[in-house]
């Protein structure tokens, strides 16, 4: 199979490609990449992605040597792809995986619209050209696999339905959800009007691997866990709210099965844990127990996050933000501006944490049963059986282990924290000694 793939430098797509390399005999890939903000060349970027893949050496070499890199610029016509290469794509491509997007929650609409909506429209334009070419030459039908998100449904008071081919999202939580919803409307319209072979995947929150606990990106719940560990999040709200987190290896296994088995070609597949969503309280309680008994920093005290009513929590956040803003205004100390920025970033996460988000997934589970070798998403938490006994089947512990092993991917410097803890404790120790 010959694929055109976007998003290879991201978190999810490399794992899908890894899976495809293992599941298919001779897959060929054209990867759409751009230079990064540091000016790193696309080949160097690609090589570093492949080096990090869980593949044996020969598969890695094969991927490095046989893949074609397509430099893109979303803002340019035809994605800025070299015209000869564009023609080659039209002739060769059999499947497209569009997994690229800007997943930040704090971007201005006009800015994030480009990677999330304009990009999708241009990928569809390419899809359309290839589709027509394949129809004229009697070749097999082309399929587009598009990665959307369950959170494109925005604010929803009821469980979020699996309503394909309909789509009635609520008010978006942020510009990310807004633009992903816009892109989904666009894609659905193409399915309805032209009966195109397009599969839309709707993962919820993608977390670390259920097998290894590892992740490439430490955001959302990871940040909340980190702030809790650092003692910088003394309060939280909505303890019974559920977070729908699915592991990246399961998401990649389902998507790659759908792509390589080549039997399911149109519709929406939600990749959610549904009723197995994890409550914020469980996340806090198990996380707290684990971090306090495995803390690598001696003497570091982890306060237990306390739950307060939502309005109190929101008020506290606003007061804190106003305080830091005022402090910055008075002192011009950049630290305060950084605090305001940090809180704003967190505010982007809050709707996911403090808002009601429950995803229906029974139809998708049937599709997954029918068209893949996967079963339901592995659960993050341990569960109780009918007899009320705790069954240790969750993978949350692996995630917790990974956060301490990597310091949240380098976000937490344990040595520095130890120094700070020691400095903080020093006067008490000296006082204690002098009293003896």
Which one among 19, 120, 149, 364 touches ligand NAP, defined by CB under 6 A? Answer: 149
Which residue's beta carbon is nearest to the bound ligand NAP? Answer: 10
Site string for ligand NAP, 24-43 (x = CB under 6 A): ----------x-x-------
Stretch that binds ligand NAP, among 8-16, 51-59, 157-165, 360-368 (CB under 6 A): 8-16
Residues 299-318 that bind ligand NAP (CB under 6 A): none
Nearer to ligand NAP, 226 or 340 (CB): 226
Q: Of 108-127, which residues contact ligand NAP (CB under 6 A)?
A: 115, 119
Q: Which member of 10, 161, 267, 409 binds ligand NAP (CB under 6 A)?
A: 10
Q: Which of 97, 147, 269, 278 binds ligand NAP (CB under 6 A)?
A: 147
Among 5, 12, 187, 252, binds ligand NAP (CB under 6 A): 12
Query: Which of 99, 172, 208, 277 contacts ligand NAP by CB under 6 A?
Result: 99
- In angstroms, give the least distance from the CB of 306 to ligand NAP: 27
Order of strands, sheet of 95-98, starting from the edge strand that comes earlier in the sequence: 68-71, 28-33, 2-6, 95-98, 143-147, 198-203, 267-271
Q: Which residues contact 280 (CB under 8 A, 6 or more apart)?
A: 236, 238, 239, 240, 241, 242, 243, 353
Q: At closest approach, how far in Å is the CB of 68 from ligand NAP?
A: 16
Residue owning tokens 């977070």: 243
User: Closest separation between CB of residue 76 and ligand NAP, Å?
Assistant: 11
Instruction: Between 49 and 236, name the residue whose CB sits nearer to ligand NAP.
Output: 49
In terms of CB distance, is 80 or 342 closer to ligand NAP? 80
Number of residues that bind ligand NAP (CB under 6 A): 25
For residue 253, state whether it binds ligand NAP (rule: CB under 6 A). Answer: no
Chain residues 267-286 in contact with ligand NAP, contact rule CB under 6 A? none
Spatial distance between the Cα atoms of 63 and 69, rounded to a whole number of angstroms = 11
**Euclidean distance between CA atoms 375 and 366, whole angstroms:** 9
CB of residue 329 to ligand NAP, shortest distance in Å = 33
Report the residue from 70, 206, 259, 272 that binds ligand NAP according to the rule CB under 6 A: 206
Nearer to ligand NAP (CB atom), residue 183 or residue 236: 183
Q: Of the ranges 7-15, 345-353, 374-382, 410-418, which one interacts with ligand NAP (CB under 6 A)? A: 7-15
User: How far are the Cα atoms of 16, 96, 154, 279 from residue 204, in angstroms, in the given order?
Assistant: 16, 22, 12, 15
362: tokens are 């029974």
Q: What is the x/- site pattern for ligand NAP, positions 57-96, by CB under 6 A?
A: ---------------x-x----------------------
Which of 102, 129, 347, 418 is close enough to bind ligand NAP by CB under 6 A? 102
Which of 203, 206, 257 has its CA nearest to residue 22?
Answer: 257
First to last CA, the chain: 77
Nearer to ligand NAP, 10 or 159 (CB): 10
Instruction: Decide: is 205 part of the binding site for ligand NAP (CB under 6 A).
Output: yes
Q: Which of 16, 93, 101, 198 binds ligand NAP (CB under 6 A)?
A: 101
CA–CA separation, 297 vs 421, rounded Å?
Answer: 8
Query: Among 63, 93, 103, 200, which residue sits at the site for ligand NAP (rule: CB under 6 A)?
Result: 103
How near is the Cβ of 102 to ligand NAP at its closest, in Å?
5
Least spacing, CB of residue 284 vs ligand NAP, in Å: 20
Residue closer to ligand NAP (CB basis): 324 or 359: 359
Instruction: State which of residues 212, 217, 275, 406 lies at the interface with ligand NAP (CB under 6 A).
Output: 217
The reply on whether position 183 binds ligand NAP by CB under 6 A is no
Q: Which residues bind ligand NAP (CB under 6 A)?
A: 7-13, 34, 36, 72, 74, 99-103, 115, 119, 147, 149, 180, 203, 205-206, 217
């Amino acid at each position: 199979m010959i694929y055109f793939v976007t998003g290879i430098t991201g978190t999810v797509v490399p794992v899908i490609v890894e899976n495809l390399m293992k599941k298919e005999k001779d897959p060929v890939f054209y990867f759409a990449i751009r230079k990064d903000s540091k000016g790193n060349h696309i080949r160097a970027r690609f090589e570093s992605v492949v080096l990090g893949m869980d593949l044996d050496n020969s598969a890695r070499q094969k991927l490095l040597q046989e893949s074609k890199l397509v430099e893109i610029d979303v803002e340019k016509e035809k994605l800025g792809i070299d015209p000869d290469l564009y023609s080659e794509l039209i002739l060769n491509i059999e499947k497209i995986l569009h997994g690229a997007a800007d997943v930040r929650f704090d971007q201005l609409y006009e800015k994030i619209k480009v990677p999330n909506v304009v990009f999708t429209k241009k990928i569809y334009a390419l899809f359309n050209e290839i589709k027509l070419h394949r129809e004229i030459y009697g070749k097999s039908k082309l399929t587009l696999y598009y990665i959307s998100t369950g959170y494109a449904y925005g604010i929803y008071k009821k469980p979020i339905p699996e309503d394909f081919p309909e789509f009635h999202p609520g008010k978006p939580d942020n510009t990310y959800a807004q633009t992903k919803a816009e892109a989904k409307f666009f894609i659905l319209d193409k399915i309805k009007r032209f009966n195109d072979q397009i599969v839309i995947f709707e993962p919820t929150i993608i977390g670390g691997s259920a097998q290894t606990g590892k992740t490439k990106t430490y955001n959302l719940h990871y940040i909340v866990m980190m702030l809790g560990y650092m003692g910088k999040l003394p309060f939280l709200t909505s303890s019974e709210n559920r977070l729908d987190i699915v592991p990246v290896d399961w998401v990649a296994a389902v998507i790659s099965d759908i792509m390589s088995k080549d039997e399911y070609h149109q519709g929406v597949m939600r990749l959610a844990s549904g009723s197995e969503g994890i409550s914020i309280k469980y996340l806090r309680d198990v996380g707290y127990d684990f971090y306090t008994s495995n803390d690598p920093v001696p003497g570091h005290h982890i306060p237990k996050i306390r739950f307060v009513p939502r309005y109190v929590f929101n008020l506290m956040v606003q007061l804190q933000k106003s305080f830091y803003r005022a402090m910055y205004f008075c002192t011009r100390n950049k630290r305060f501006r950084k605090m305001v920025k940090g809180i704003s970033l967190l505010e982007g996460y809050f709707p996911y944490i403090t808002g009601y988000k429950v995803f229906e997934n029974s139809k998708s589970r049937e599709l997954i049963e029918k068209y893949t070798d996967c079963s339901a998403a592995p659960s993050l938490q341990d569960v109780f059986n009918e007899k009320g006994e705790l069954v240790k089947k969750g993978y949350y512990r692996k995630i917790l282990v990974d956060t301490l092993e990597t310091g949240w991917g380098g976000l937490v410097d344990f040595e520095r924290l130890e120094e700070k803890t020691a400095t903080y404790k020093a006067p008490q120790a000296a006082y204690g000694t002098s009293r003896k």
